[in-house]
Structure 1
Amino acid sequence: MAVLSTVFGLVIAGGPIGRNFERVAPVLGVLGVAFGLWYALGALGLANYPF
């Protein structure tokens, strides 16, 4: 999660995405929640990890 958060931060801070943050933030939020949900379901044995 720390690496994923760092990558999100670097992407947001630089380039054209930084100028369009209002459109990118909800997408990143949904991706973060989806990853957390998948990870939690995997920890509970309800979802398989592909690796």
Structure 2
Amino acid sequence: MPQQEGDAITIAIGDLSHTGIMQRPSFVTTNRHAWDIFVKAVKSGKFDHLAAQ
């Protein structure tokens, strides 16, 4: 679930984000405008081809 603090929105990535197993940062920080654009793209199927891989 995205967490918002001020203008920043933090999104956890993947199921291992809080286990300490991942060596890369397990979150992304963005802003409301970019997040809304991303959500619209997901809902319109722009990333469906990635699920088929």
Taking structure 1 as the reference length, the TM-score comes to: 0.40
Taking structure 2 as the reference length, the TM-score comes to: 0.39
* Greater helix share, structure number: 1
* Greater strand share, structure number: 2
User: Which of the two has higher C-alpha Rg?
Assistant: 1
The one of the two structures with greater contact order (alpha-carbon pairs below 8 A, sep at least 6) is 2
